[in-house]
Structure 1
Amino acid sequence: MPEIAELLASPIHRFEGRPSEGPAPAPASELVSAVRIRAGLGIVGDRYFGEPAHRDASVTVIARESLPPGVGLVAVRRNILVSGIPVDDLVGEVLTLDSGDGPIRLQVNRRAHPCAWMDVTVGPGAWKALRGKGGIRCTPLDDGVLRVGPVTAGVFGSPA
């Protein structure tokens, strides 16, 4: 059964400057058990919430199957870590996730390409290894809540 394995809502940018300088420290509270999502705006409390430049990419999703064992959202800086959903194949579709509080539709706009930081935060060679499976960038189409745990998932064509 598909699940939401982790959720991240970080108020700060950790990957600034050069990867060789290392990331800024992670806030203790950025991994959460639930997130509130607002249509067209993103995840409440996240660094990209309501930012005009990020409205079409305000929620990012990555598959656990794409990551090495033990690597999670703090290392890759995506918002939603799912298991059992091949998210990298969904560009142009609408991904619907329901963790018990009602469905949240996410318009999948494009792939979330990995960057050089992955060699620092995940491990040497991760930047190349994650090409084509670095997750997806989405626009939320609904207000609601997502929680860690089992999730009902569906994929639909792009809304008209």
Structure 2
Amino acid sequence: MPEILELLASPVHRFGGRPGDGPAPAPEGELVSEVRIRAGLGIVGDRYFAQPAHRDASVTVIAAASLPAGVGLLAVRRNILLSGVPVDDLVGQVLTLDSGDGPVRLMVNRKAHPCAWMDVTVGPGAWKALRGKGGVRCTPLDDGTLRVGPVAASVVAA
């Protein structure tokens, strides 16, 4: 069964400037047990919430299978770490997740390409290793709540 392993809602950008300088410190509470999602706006409390330039990419999802063991959302800065779903294959489709509070549909718009920061936060060579499996950028189609734990997942053509 698919599972939401981690959720991240960060009010700040941590990867600014040069990767060699290292990321900014993480604020308390970036990793959360649940997120509230608003249709067309994103994750309440996240840095991309209601930002016009990010409306089609306000929620990011990455497959746990794409990451080395022990690496999570704090290193890759995606919002949802999901196991059991090949998210990188879903561009152009609608991913529906239901962790018990009702379905939340996400329109998968495009791949989330990794950047040079991955060599710093994940480890040397991660930038190249994550090409093609850095997750996806989505537009939320429904208001709802997602929680860490087992999740019903389905995919339909857009």
TM-score by length of 1: 0.98
Once the two structures are TM-superposed, the CA of residue 51 in structure 1 deviates from its matched residue by: 0.2
Q: Structure 2 counterpart of 1:154, which letter? A: S
- Give the 4+ runs in structure 1 shifted more than 6 A: none
Runs of 5+ in structure 1 lacking a partner?
none
| Aligned equivalents of 1:55, 1:46: Cα separation in 2 | 12
Aligned to 1:116: 116
Residue 97 of structure 2 is aligned to residue 97 of structure 1: yes
SS at match of 1:119: helix
Aligned to 2:140: 140
Once the two structures are TM-superposed, the CA of residue 28 in structure 1 deviates from its matched residue by: 1.9
| Aligned equivalents of 1:150, 1:44: Cα separation in 2 | 22
Aligned to 2:8: 8
| Aligned equivalents of 1:26, 1:110: Cα separation in 2 | 27
Listed one character per residue, the Cα deviations across residues 137-159 of structure 1 (whole Å, up to 9, x for unaligned) are 0000000000000000000111x
Count of paired positions: 158
Once the two structures are TM-superposed, the CA of residue 76 in structure 1 deviates from its matched residue by: 0.0
Identity %: 83
Once the two structures are TM-superposed, the CA of residue 45 in structure 1 deviates from its matched residue by: 0.1
Q: How does 1:49-88 map to 2 (within 5 A)?
A: 49-88=49-88
SS at match of 1:20: helix
Q: CA RMSD in A?
A: 0.3
Q: Structure 2 counterpart of 1:157, which letter? A: A
SS at match of 2:142: coil
Runs of 5+ in structure 2 lacking a partner?
none
| Aligned equivalents of 2:55, 2:148: Cα separation in 1 | 24
| Aligned equivalents of 1:33, 1:76: Cα separation in 2 | 18
TM-score by length of 2: 1.00
Listed one character per residue, the Cα deviations across residues 4-44 of structure 1 (whole Å, up to 9, x for unaligned) are 00000000000000001100011120000000000000000
Residue 18 of structure 2 is aligned to residue 18 of structure 1: yes
